[in-house]
Amino acid sequence: MKSCLTLICMLGLYLHANAQALVYKPMNPNFGGDTFGYQMLLSSADAQNDFKEDSTSGFKQPTQLERFKENLNNQLLNKISNSLFNDQFGSKGISQGTYNFGTLSVDVYPSNLGLTVDILDIETGEQTQVIVPGS
């Protein structure tokens, strides 16, 4: 009888206990959390960051001599490419057809968008398309 009375008392206490709703409150201020938690989150993220910025790998302004050398190199390459272009296509410019430059295959054909130039690298399979709008 005593165990039955104890069981009834325990059951009564269990049914009488009050519960409260669980409420989620985010910590991150970007998602509605308290703005005073920002500094704690930032310092925690900085402490876990294994990547350190290398101060020597930043952008370095080229000197006048380096800029002159680069400009001269670009002009020289431009003259060579113009010469090769004139040798391949003549003075009339690009005409319709298929051209091969080493491992590059260039297809030139007119389309409704203008002159279309398909360039395919035969070795790697990379390709690109250039469309020159017609007038």
- 73-125 confidence digits (pLDDT tens): 999 888 887 877 777 667 777 778 888 888 888 898 888 888 888 999 999 99
What pLDDT is attached to residue 17?
60
How far is the C-alpha of 76 from the C-alpha of 51, rounded, in Å? 41
The per-residue pLDDT for range 23-45, each reduced to its tens digit, is 888 888 788 888 887 888 888 88
Q: Where in the chain are the domains?
A: 95-134
Q: Report, in angstroms and rounded to the nearest whole number, the Rg of the chain calculated over CA atoms.
A: 37
Residue 135 identity: S
What pLDDT is attached to residue 27?
80
64, with CB counted inside 10 A (0-12, 13-18, 19+), is exposed
How far is the C-alpha of 76 from the C-alpha of 99, rounded, in Å? 24
Mean confidence (pLDDT) of the chain: 81
Query: What contacts 122, CB < 8 A, 6 or more positions away?
Result: 103, 104, 105
For 82-99, give the DSSP string: HHHHHHHH-TT---SEEE
What pLDDT is attached to residue 66?
92
* Cα 90 to chain centroid, rounded: 41
Helix (H) or strand (E) holding 66: helix 64-89
Please write down the long-range contacts of 127-135, taking CB distance under 8 Å and 24 or more positions apart.
134/110
Residue 125 identity: G
